[in-house]
Structure 1
Amino acid sequence: MLTDRPLLFALQGSEHYATRVAQRLGCQLALHEERDYEDGEHKCRPLASVNGREVVVFHSLYGDDRQSANDKLCRLLFFCGALKDAGARHVQVVTPYLCYGRKDRRSQPQDPTITRYLATLFEACRVDRLVALEVHNPAAFDNAFRIPAWNVQCTELFAEHFARFVGDADVVAVSPDSGGAKRAEQFRQALERQLGRSVGSALMEKHRAHATLTGTLLAGDVSGKTAIVFDDLISTGETLKHAGLACQKAGATRLFAAATHGLFTAGSHLFDPPLFEHIAIFDSVPPFRLLPECVTQHVHVLDSTALVATLLAENGAFDTV
């Protein structure tokens, strides 16, 4: 039994992503049932026998028109508990987008630290390992979990992407705030390796009071250069726009942006009018809040499934990627 290949499950909304990972691993998704009750409660159960098996469950925890992030989280936790109750030997969760990653510290008195509470919930449902793409605060993520929890970084793939667009121009990697400086620096170094030449760095001042952004200082030289604003996620897009306008004012000749998770909670507002030549995101969250023509013209959606499949192959009983 221990030599069997792991079973892969995907809860509703994450089937397309998980199917592409499964194809790279040379397998298919296992069957399960999700049932909704009239009062809003639900249940999820595997239809394949999981007794003694290693199991991988995919679910990206973003809210959409059908289910909130809370709904998806609850279904995922209950399904993992059901797998363990049914005898699963090892349950690994893959969350391309992990919800509540931004509430990882106390910024005001009596604030919650929800990342830690989230970790406790996964542990209570006996999840053995968690994999997430590009979490908001890697240090807080590492400290929150007592089970193995892996933060899969997409920096190298972003660097490969932009190396095809910047040509011979001088390039600057821009962090839109101080909290993302380390992330932007990792991207800068990766882009340097791809281009084989020096890449500059810049940092945008940002202060947030509720929904209002302030800060005018741009530290770093972008004049006459290609600027790439690099962040982990896009919610309303105001942070990217704030940094992009500052780079434009400081004389940047070309503007790009990148973020692993494109939530686009304000719809196409970020592109009215378009500020960046294009914005690169990964497929952890489909850009369903954007108009199709906006995605076609202004957004490049990169594929993270090969990265995830490689990670699973290196740490599981899969033969090929």
Structure 2
Amino acid sequence: MLIFAPKTSSSLAGRVAAALGTVLAPSEEREFEGGEHKMRPLVDVCNEDVYVVQDLCGDANASANDKLCRLLFFVGALKDAGAERVTAITPYLAYARKDRRTQPRDPVTMRYVAALMEAVGIDRVVALEMHNEAAFDNAFRCHTLRLEAADVFVADIAKAVGDQPVVVMSPDIGGVKRAQRFREFLTSTLSREVDLAFMEKRRTKGVVSGATVVGDLAGRAVIIYDDMIVSGSTILRACQASRQAGARTVLVAAAHAAFLPAASQIFSSHAADNVLVTDSIELRPEFEQWLDSGLRVCSIAPLIARTIRDLASHRD
């Protein structure tokens, strides 16, 4: 078993390797004029079971498109060098939200990404907390595995709520199934009943509206559970609605911290008592000021390490 990572994802990959009690396999990356590059393994990969860790969220160092190309080209090199099986660990999968046509002649970009991955020979794709699970499953013809952030968050949240009555809330109707599964995780951990609620949400030409909450939040610890935070507007609305409905405590848990600058409003407003995210995406430097002051990052490295260990032990 060999684990590689492009330099844009080496921090998370290093934590995964450490959790497995190993180190990243050596590779070479070179940049050329005009923005071209290459990456090659520096060890023999022939007949090896190979795992490549690469988040596909654009940041200051590389765009989502650049990260995707680096992953595709490197996997192609691995397969050309004789790797028996290559698993792409993409905790954040670029274009996963573009999974359907919302206007005439719209692209279904996630399906195109799947086709590109399959074309270079990726045998399996592992991703964390998909925006639309059914669309993800249907887009790929190679093997896929969806990891759930509930596994990472549940212990911290159980400790935070203590003996308070608890309700898990989805900030929109589309996320109810995700919130329901986390509710089941939390119910099992707390060994007591946890209720479910959701919030109305309408989006028209990019403008979000709707503030009706379905469920009883008064006097309870409210866990607002979602797959990602981008601008933060949806989460902020849900926090404010929870306060207005009489919530005793408001906690937010979201797998992907795909923060835009506007997301700082969640922390500056103190609308949430605490926000939990994972390290599926490297935290942008401007948000580090909120660490230990409303923001907590829970590592997915142990979860990915366990997943790799299980996949390697069941090698066909």
Give the TM-score taking structure 2 as reference length: 0.96
Percent identity for Structure 1 against Structure 2: 44
How far the C-alpha of 1:26 sits from its partner, in A, is 2.2
- Answer whether contact 1:265 1:289 (CA < 8 A) is retained: no
For 1:203 and 1:283, the matched residues in 2 are separated by 26
CA shift in 2, pair 1:64/1:171, >3 Å: same
How far the C-alpha of 1:56 sits from its partner, in A, is 0.8
- Answer whether contact 1:93 1:130 (CA < 8 A) is retained: yes
Amino acid of the structure 2 residue aligned with 1:34: E
Match of 1:217 in 2: 212
Task: Tell me the alpha carbon deviations over residues 55-114 of structure 1, each in whole angstroms, 9 at most, x when there is no partner.
Answer: 111111111111011110011001001111111111111111111111111122222111
- Answer whether contact 2:169 2:225 (CA < 8 A) is retained: yes
For 2:292 and 2:20, the matched residues in 1 are separated by 29
1:292 to 273, 288, 292: 288
1:162-177 equivalences in 2 (<5 Å): 162-177=157-172
1:282 maps onto 2:278 in alignment: yes
Amino acid of the structure 2 residue aligned with 1:286: E
For 2:304 and 2:26, the matched residues in 1 are separated by 21
Q: Which moved more, 1:8-17 or 1:151-160?
A: 151-160
1:66 maps onto 2:61 in alignment: yes
Match of 1:140 in 2: 135
How far the C-alpha of 1:172 sits from its partner, in A, is 0.8
Match of 1:227 in 2: 222
How far the C-alpha of 1:317 sits from its partner, in A, is 4.9
For 1:222 and 1:128, the matched residues in 2 are separated by 45
Task: Tell me the alpha carbon deviations over residues 170-213 of structure 1, each in whole angstroms, 9 at most, x when there is no partner.
Answer: 11100000110000001111111111111111110001123311
Match of 1:306 in 2: 302
2:183 to 166, 169, 188: 188
Q: Which moved more, 1:146-155 or 1:267-276?
A: 267-276
For 2:122 and 2:103, the matched residues in 1 are separated by 31
For 2:303 and 2:101, the matched residues in 1 are separated by 33
How far the C-alpha of 1:116 sits from its partner, in A, is 0.8
Match of 1:104 in 2: 99
For 2:210 and 2:125, the matched residues in 1 are separated by 36
Looking at secondary structure, tell me which structure has more helix per residue.
2
Amino acid of the structure 2 residue aligned with 1:170: P
For 1:191 and 1:7, the matched residues in 2 are separated by 35
How far the C-alpha of 1:142 sits from its partner, in A, is 0.6
Match of 2:88 in 1: 93
- Answer whether contact 2:273 2:294 (CA < 8 A) is retained: yes
Amino acid of the structure 2 residue aligned with 1:255: V
Task: Tell me the alpha carbon deviations over residues 274-309 of structure 1, each in whole angstroms, 9 at most, x when there is no partner.
Answer: 211110111101221533221231111112111111
Q: Which moved more, 1:63-72 or 1:267-276?
A: 267-276
How far the C-alpha of 1:37 sits from its partner, in A, is 1.0
**Per the alignment, in what secondary structure is the counterpart of residue 7 of structure 2?**
coil
Amino acid of the structure 1 residue aligned with 2:307: L
Q: Which moved more, 1:15-24 or 1:250-259?
A: 15-24
Task: Tell me the alpha carbon deviations over residues 208-263 of structure 1, each in whole angstroms, 9 at most, x when there is no partner.
Answer: 12331101211111011111110000001111011111111111121110000011
- Answer whether contact 1:287 1:295 (CA < 8 A) is retained: no
**Per the alignment, in what secondary structure is the counterpart of residue 203 of structure 1?**
strand
For 2:8 and 2:206, the matched residues in 1 are separated by 29
Amino acid of the structure 2 residue aligned with 1:144: A
- Answer whether contact 1:268 1:289 (CA < 8 A) is retained: no
Match of 2:148 in 1: 153
How far the C-alpha of 1:30 sits from its partner, in A, is 1.0
How far the C-alpha of 1:270 sits from its partner, in A, is 2.3
**Per the alignment, in what secondary structure is the counterpart of residue 260 of structure 2?**
coil
Match of 1:24 in 2: 19
1:131 to 126, 129, 132: 126
For 1:16 and 1:254, the matched residues in 2 are separated by 33
2:36 to 7, 23, 41: 41
Match of 1:259 in 2: 254
**What residue ranges of structure 2 are gaps of 5+ in the alignment?**
none
2:199 to 198, 204, 208: 204
For 1:9 and 1:72, the matched residues in 2 are separated by 14
Match of 2:236 in 1: 241
**What residue ranges of structure 1 are gaps of 5+ in the alignment?**
1-5
Task: Tell me the alpha carbon deviations over residues 11-47 of structure 1, each in whole angstroms, 9 at most, x when there is no partner.
Answer: 0121121112112222211111111111111111111
**Per the alignment, in what secondary structure is the counterpart of residue 81 of structure 1?**
helix
Match of 2:4 in 1: 9
For 1:305 and 1:40, the matched residues in 2 are separated by 31
**Per the alignment, in what secondary structure is the counterpart of residue 55 of structure 2?**
coil
How far the C-alpha of 1:156 sits from its partner, in A, is 3.0
